[in-house]
Chains A and B, each alone.
Chain A
Amino acid sequence: MSLAAKDRRQAWGLLAPALVWTAAFFILPFFAMIALSFAHMEGREIVRGFDPGNYTRIFTDPVMLEALRNSLEITVVVTVISIVLAYPLAAIIAFRVPACWQRLALLLAVLPFWTSYVVRSYSWLLVLGQNGVVNKTLLGLGLIAEPLEIASTRAATVIGFVHFFVMLLTLTIYANLIQLSPNYARAAQDLGASRWQCFTHVILPLTLPGVITGAFLTFVLCIGDYITPQILGGNTELTLPQLIMLQLGRSGNFPLASALSVVLMAVVTLAYFASSRWLRLDRV
């Protein structure tokens, strides 16, 4: 056997465990899920077959359509607000904070990232609730007469999400900004660009791939999240993941839950293609 062939055989041997694992526990269940989405329920029994009924239901039933719309609206709003808030934060840390303090500043900015995910949403409930810190403070200052209803609304869900994603995006945008050579900005300013022009024409376009990559990550994680809307949003409006969990719990309707998951996947795939021109997933 030639050396190259032996190398290749060994490489396959090293590769096999990871590939088999991914095939068995990710790809296979994934296709099984797609197949299941075309089944339907009779009583509590799953009847397999090729029945697109679940999909027609998703796109005609007002409850399902509303959940889809809620999810999309919340996700888009969260993504936009998070970028708008995180960009200046990352820029200030990268350009204003002295170099030796930057790592510490960054570490501090994302420290609450390490609280338990479930507990973080719960903490916002303590802050935003009827008797929470915000209401008690505003009442105490005499700024409001009645407690604000923030918890159990969409606003609470959005605040909880924005808090998480500002931290995530600050990290990715900072990593992008710090890689830029200061010479670009210097050159622009030598050629007479104002600070603002320098930002819009030089810095922003150069960091766009990083921003879009962060936005895509935010989109994917936000639209698939169950915890934050479940804890903070109350039960006034449902998101797609909440609807999926309801199907699993209440009625054991796995086929419908699978179809909803396929729709969720399709939305993410669309977002991927919309942003793929700028995506640098390998450089996150």
Chain B
Amino acid sequence: MIRTLSWAYLAVAYAFVFLPVAVLVAFSFQDGRLPVPPFKGVTLDWYAKVLGNDDLTAALLNSLLVAVVSSLVALILGFLAAHALARVRLPGSALMRGVLIAPMTVSYLIVALGLLNLFNLTGLRLSLLTAGIGHVVVNLPLCFAITYAAMGDHQRSAERAARDLGAPEWKVVTLISAPMLAVPLAAAFFLSVTFSWDEFIIAFLLTRFDVTLPVEIWSMLKSGLSPATNAVGSLVFLVSVTLVILLELTVFRKRP
């Protein structure tokens, strides 16, 4: 009885979770002007239209650029800070951990608003760079927390051994710490990329002429329902899922 109920619940839960995605993908093939029932037949026109749209492809490239560069910066800053805090007891290290984690507990909207005000005051023009700065702010705590949590005694002794044998600090970091932490570093990087790639509110408030993909999709929504939006959404989903599956099969597989 409970067994049957469990499987029924599982089925209903999966149906609920997949319903919007299924509808999104199904109606991206709609041979008609509206992505709602009745389904009028299959066409790839909307995909052709979307892939031929210069604004969208430009936004896609912008998104990739911002995601990769901001995640790299966040990863390097977060990793170095974690390395320092895990190694030496500094006065106030609990406070510093708190400061580095703090942006995680604040709404993205507030981070964006604060930066918008700052850039207005300093006269820095809004661009992909300013959006990227915002993304580093929110991804730095994530990268720091993941790499900090992954550092253990085993790692510390290997680093100490390298130091005792005369390695300068930069060699310890690049030849010992980083390779030993390859898996958590990769996890932090790809998590940051997926967050940044999909982030809307910071990118919306901190860009002006060159925009990222979520912002471009947002402006598509203003003209109402269209299978073109479904096609873009399905493509983004396809890319993200491919990335997740690749990660699952490579990086996370080796975990004991």
User: Which residues of A come within 8 Å of B, CB atoms?
Assistant: 7-8, 10-15, 17-19, 21-23, 25-30, 32-33, 36, 85, 88-89, 92-93, 96-97, 103, 105, 107-112, 114-120, 122-127, 129, 131-133, 136-137, 163, 166-167, 220-221, 223-227, 231, 241, 244-245, 248, 254, 257-258, 261, 264-265, 268, 272, 281-282
Q: Does B90 contact A (CB under 8 A)?
A: yes
Pairwise interchain contact B194-A220, C-beta atoms closer than 8 A: no
Pairwise interchain contact A112-B20, C-beta atoms closer than 8 A: yes
Question: In the complex the two chains form, what is the Cα distance from A244 to B114 in whole Å?
Answer: 12
A25-B133, A36-B117 are contacts. A126–B35 as well, Cβ < 8 Å?
Answer: yes
Q: Does B137 contact A (CB under 8 A)?
A: yes
Q: Does B187 contact A (CB under 8 A)?
A: no
Residues of B within 8 A of A30 (CB): 106, 110, 114
Q: Does B188 contact A (CB under 8 A)?
A: no
Q: Of B9, B194, B200, which is within 8 A of A118 by CB?
A: B200
A/B interface sample: 18 pairs, CB < 8 A: A15-B80, A18-B80, A19-B81, A25-B136, A30-B106, A33-B117, A36-B117, A85-B13, A92-B9, A109-B17, A110-B17, A116-B213, A118-B200, A119-B229, A129-B36, A137-B37, A245-B109, A265-B107
Question: In the complex the two chains form, what is the Cα distance from A220 to B107 in whole Å?
Answer: 7
Residues of A within 8 A of B237 (CB): 112, 114-116, 119
* B225-256 interface code vs A (CB 8 A; 1 in, 0 out): 10001101100110011011000100000000
Pairwise interchain contact A244-B136, C-beta atoms closer than 8 A: no
Q: Of A107, A108, A116, which is within 8 A of B214 by CB?
A: A116
* B1-27 interface code vs A (CB 8 A; 1 in, 0 out): 001001101100110111111011001
Please report whether the interface of chain A is mostly helix, strand, loop or mixed according to DSSP.
helix
Pairwise interchain contact B149-A220, C-beta atoms closer than 8 A: no
Pairwise interchain contact B200-A15, C-beta atoms closer than 8 A: no
Q: Which of B13, B137, B236, B241 has the most CB of A within 10 A?
A: B13
Pairwise interchain contact A26-B103, C-beta atoms closer than 8 A: yes
Question: In the complex the two chains form, what is the Cα distance from A137 to B103 in whole Å?
Answer: 44
Pairwise interchain contact B20-A282, C-beta atoms closer than 8 A: no
Q: Of A13, A36, A268, A282, which is within 8 A of B107 by CB?
A: A268
Interface members, chain B 76-100 (any A CB < 8 Å) = 76-78, 80-81, 83-85, 87-88, 90, 96, 99-100
Residues of A within 8 A of B121 (CB): 32
Pairwise interchain contact B20-A123, C-beta atoms closer than 8 A: yes
Question: In the complex the two chains form, what is the Cα distance from A248 to B119 in whole Å?
Answer: 15
Q: Does B183 contact A (CB under 8 A)?
A: no
Residues of A within 8 A of B167 (CB): none
A129 CB → nearest B CB, Å: 7
Pairwise interchain contact A32-B118, C-beta atoms closer than 8 A: yes
Q: Of A89, A96, A105, A265, which is within 8 A of B110 by CB?
A: A265
Q: Of A8, A27, A96, A110, which is within 8 A of B6 by CB?
A: A96
Pairwise interchain contact A33-B107, C-beta atoms closer than 8 A: no
Q: Of A12, A29, A116, A227, which is within 8 A of B84 by CB?
A: A12
- Chain B residue nearest to A133 (CB atoms) is B23
Pairwise interchain contact B80-A126, C-beta atoms closer than 8 A: no
A18-B77, A118-B217 are contacts. A25–B118 as well, Cβ < 8 Å?
Answer: yes
Question: In the complex the two chains form, what is the Cα distance from A22 to B97 in whole Å?
Answer: 11
Pairwise interchain contact B140-A227, C-beta atoms closer than 8 A: no
Residues of B within 8 A of A225 (CB): 107
Pairwise interchain contact B21-A131, C-beta atoms closer than 8 A: no
Pairwise interchain contact A119-B137, C-beta atoms closer than 8 A: no
* B37-65 interface code vs A (CB 8 A; 1 in, 0 out): 11000000000000000000000000000
- Chain A residue nearest to B91 (CB atoms) is A8
